[in-house]
Amino acid sequence: MNHKLLVEMTRHNIAHVKADTADQSNDILEIPGSFYTDPERWASECRNVFGRLPLVVALSSEIAEPGMYRAAEFMNRPVLVARRKDGTAQAFVNMCTHRGAQIVEDGKGKANRFTCPYHGWTFANTGQLIGVPSAKEFGEIDRDCFGLTHLPTFEHNGFVWAVLDPASQLNIKQFLSGYDDVLGVFGFESWHVFGRKRLESANWKLTYDGYVDFYHLPVLHKKTFGDKFSNRAISFNWGPHQRIVTPDPSLLKLEEKPESEWDTKKMLKGVWPMFPNAALISIDGRGDAMMFSQIFPGDSVENSYSTHVFITERELTRQEERDAAEEQFSFLVRVLAEEDYPVCYDIQKNLNSGVRDKVVFGRNEPGGQIFHGWVDRVVRASSDEELNMLFAEGQAENESRQTENV
């Protein structure tokens, strides 16, 4: 099924190559510049987008075996993701139910139980409270009511998503609109983390805009890699999640063989933006090394930070291949830090001046149009129920596409 889907996307690409065209949105999209500068708008995005939508909280391979965990902060909330004995991953608020201290230090490790550093309350990696020092003296409590707070969690094809709101009613599977199934083409669950870097930038959406934009590639990146790209984009979407790739003449060679023999790896190129704040970037076009980036709002409308995890299909053991991977990773991070993010700071400064309250996305920029359209819809949705209705549309579109392809 996934191979068939990749073939279909590749056929679409080949048709554009032959016609010398690319995908276009129906209209030009204008959005107010204040969407990048207004503290109230920003606060509602933090609340309604990041506070309510599933975010990737771990890669499955980081917590591959039962007993492994990852602890990290998301939107100032400490999150602990643990793989339980039954193999399932579960995210918790990394906060003691006694007096609120953070239980596990940020990082990765292996432990079946976690002890709070403040008074020593101990929790199993199922979240259950299993130890209270001086329990008799403490007084009687119903331990079942003092387990770690569960966050709604969903794991599929190498990613663990969680919603930061423990009371969320969001249907995570529906939110993913079939994108999680598509990710199965990579087999990420058995990949390896090679390295991780963190960068700072201006407003989170200004920063994310660069990830869904191919129009700028040959211009802004002319000194680094831009000469290998046209400024055209072909965009596919599953609800709010996307794949963006440039029309690629090298795909024409695939036509020499029957479709069933088309090499999956040759059909994975491009950027795979995962709504609302992440993107997988194919590094070498061969589909065996990727960068997984996530962008988060910083402490104000004017700043953000991004984390970049470099993942490889095989574990790199030979020094030469590790050096080559390090070079590729550093190159990508340098391009972001030295070419993309400085422009974000420039734009931020210019929009802050208020002299022009409008930015515009062309018909040739479907990535940005899809992204901003969904951010706006999510910000406006008044409840999880309404969000579920929005994402049901994406899911339905995906299902009808699958039916057409059977």
Residues that bind Fe ion (CB under 5 A): 210, 340
Q: Which is nearer to Fe ion, 78 or 270 (CB)?
A: 270
Q: Which is nearer to Fe ion, 172 or 245 (CB)?
A: 245
Q: Which is nearer to Fe ion, 51 or 226 (CB)?
A: 226
CA separation (Å) from 37 to 31, 119, 303, 340, 346? 12, 43, 10, 19, 13
CB 155 within 8 A of CB 88: yes
Distance between CA atoms of 178 and 191, rounded to whole angstroms? 21
For residue 22, how many other CB atoms are within 10 A of its CB? 21
Q: Which is nearer to Fe ion, 128 or 364 (CB)?
A: 364
Please state the φ and ψ torsions of residue 304, each to the nearest 5 degrees: -150, 170
Q: Which is nearer to Fe ion, 66 or 342 (CB)?
A: 342
Quote the least distance from Cβ 369 to Fe ion, whole Å.
17
- Dihedral angle, C-alpha 153, 154, 159, 161, nearest 10 °: -40
Q: How many helices (H) and strands (E) does the chain have?
A: 11, 20
Which two tokens mark 11? 């056929």
Quote the least distance from Cβ 336 to Fe ion, whole Å.
7
Distance between CA atoms of 91 and 150, rounded to whole angstroms? 6
- The CA angle 99-105-106, to the nearest 5 degrees, is 125
Quote the least distance from Cβ 325 to Fe ion, whole Å.
21
Quote the least distance from Cβ 193 to Fe ion, whole Å.
24
Q: Which is nearer to Fe ion, 181 or 340 (CB)?
A: 340
Quote the least distance from Cβ 221 to Fe ion, whole Å.
6
According to DSSP, residue 339 is labeled: I
Name which of 24, 27, 6, 1 is nearest 270 in CA terms: 6
Q: Which is nearer to Fe ion, 302 or 340 (CB)?
A: 340
H/E stretch holding 244: strand 241-245
Q: Which residue is nearest to Fe ion (CB)?
A: 340
According to DSSP, residue 262 is labeled: -
Quote the least distance from Cβ 216 to Fe ion, whole Å.
6
Quote the least distance from Cβ 323 to Fe ion, whole Å.
25
